[in-house]
Homo-oligomer: A and B are copies of this chain.
Amino acid sequence: MFTIGIDLGGTNIVAAVVDEKYNIVEKAKTPTAMPRTPEEIFDDIARVSKEAVEKAGLTMADISSIGLGTPGTVNGGIIEYANNLGFDHIPAEAMLKERLGDLPVYIENDANCAALGEAYAGCGNGSKNFIAVTLGTGVGSGIIVDGKIVSGVNHAGGECGHMVIVVDGVPCTCGRRGCWEAYASATALINQTKAAMEKHPDSIMHELVKEEGAVTGRTAFDGMRRKDAVAVKVVENYIKYIAAGVTNLVNAFQPEILCIGGGICNEGETLLRPIRRYVEAERYSVYSTVQTQIVKAELGNDAGIIGAAILYEVQ
């Protein structure tokens, strides 16, 4: 049998047919094209789902369940709230069944789906104690304990980007001050880079930005590679903030594997090696013979789709 995994994002809706070995057979995609009504969005979800099934040379009779990854908070079959989709208590399960037939439907937060996908089909290699952290516009995270998603009593769990690491620190979009996201996201790195450049008009980073056109998550790393002392300091600080949050998660969960994804991870070992050094020095479990492995995420954007498609595994 096959299942359908759907990644409902603020920009695109992607549906995929996934086989029993967690491989994507076929995908189909359409822009979310906000603002639209929930009905229009679910019509498109159904359309791309059917399109993926058809591209795979299958019919809906070959599909055993449907999984939906969505931003926001989910409660059973209801999407309680998703700010960037304008969703307020949307009966997503019923809307999917109406359009795609009476199949089992599973709905989860998208970051949790991505963690599940990486744990079962990506760098986790089937690991049952696993954390996925994504350093992007924000800091996303999903937690797997004993093979199940930690989503708590209200399906809003796993939001470790909004763990304060600097009490009274810089404001976060969530309303708190000093969240991990406000220090360790790509957005935060760009802000930290800009602030350092402003203070240091002689930094080589000014030249790099002239060539590139804008400050990006790569600017400080590129400056560091050119031995610019200001850039080195920016990167060191940024990595310290990432590592502080990672060590917090290790101390709380001691997962088998913690993976880090998002665009910043293209830096590979330049990023991961110093993070590992921090964690090794600071984790509480210094005397344990078994330790968390810190690795790079493997599946990219497919993690969420595969995770949604295999939600049936963790019910």
Binding site for B on A (CB under 8 A): 72-73, 75, 80-81, 129, 143, 145-146, 148, 150-160, 162-167, 174-176, 183, 240-241, 244, 247-248, 251-256, 281-282, 284-285, 287-292
Contacts of A81 in B (CB 8 A): 287-288
Q: Verify A291–B164 contact, CB threshold 8 A.
A: no
Contacts of A154 in B (CB 8 A): 254, 285, 288-291
Contacts of A162 in B (CB 8 A): 251, 284
Contacts of A150 in B (CB 8 A): 145, 252-253
Q: Verify B164–A247 contact, CB threshold 8 A.
A: yes
* CB nearest neighbor in B for A176: B282
Q: Verify B290–A252 contact, CB threshold 8 A.
A: no
Q: Verify B287–A73 contact, CB threshold 8 A.
A: yes
Q: Verify A157–B241 contact, CB threshold 8 A.
A: no
Task: Give the Cβ gap from A258 to chain B, nearest Cβ, in Å.
Answer: 11
Contacts of A256 in B (CB 8 A): 153
Q: Verify B289–A164 contact, CB threshold 8 A.
A: no
Complex CA gap A176/B255 in Å reads 20
Which of B73, B129, B167, B244 sits near A244, CB closer than 8 Å?
B167
Q: Verify A253–B157 contact, CB threshold 8 A.
A: yes
* CB nearest neighbor in B for A141: B252
Task: Give the Cβ gap from A34 to chain B, nearest Cβ, in Å.
Answer: 19
Give the one of A73, A154, A165, A251 with max B CB within 10 A.
Answer: A251
Q: Verify A80–B248 contact, CB threshold 8 A.
A: no
Dominant secondary structure at the A interface: loop
* In the A-B complex, the 5 residue pairs with the closest CB atoms: A152-B254, A81-B287, A156-B285, A154-B288, A157-B254
Complex CA gap A163/B159 in Å reads 15
Contacts of A292 in B (CB 8 A): 152-153
Contacts of A164 in B (CB 8 A): 165, 244, 247-248
Task: Give the Cβ gap from A292 to chain B, nearest Cβ, in Å.
Answer: 7
Task: Give the Cβ gap from A105 to chain B, nearest Cβ, in Å.
Answer: 20
Q: Verify A284–B159 contact, CB threshold 8 A.
A: yes
Complex CA gap A240/B168 in Å reads 10
Complex CA gap A163/B245 in Å reads 8
Q: Verify A240–B167 contact, CB threshold 8 A.
A: yes
Contacts of A251 in B (CB 8 A): 157, 159-160, 162-163
Which of B75, B143, B253 sits near A289, CB closer than 8 Å?
B75
Contacts of A183 in B (CB 8 A): 167
Q: Verify A252–B157 contact, CB threshold 8 A.
A: yes
Complex CA gap A244/B155 in Å reads 21
Q: Verify B159–A252 contact, CB threshold 8 A.
A: yes
Known: A80-B289, A154-B289, A290-B153. A252 touches B284 (CB 8 A): no
Contacts of A284 in B (CB 8 A): 156, 159, 162, 174
Task: Give the Cβ gap from A184 to chain B, nearest Cβ, in Å.
Answer: 10
Known: A145-B145, A146-B146. A167 touches B253 (CB 8 A): no
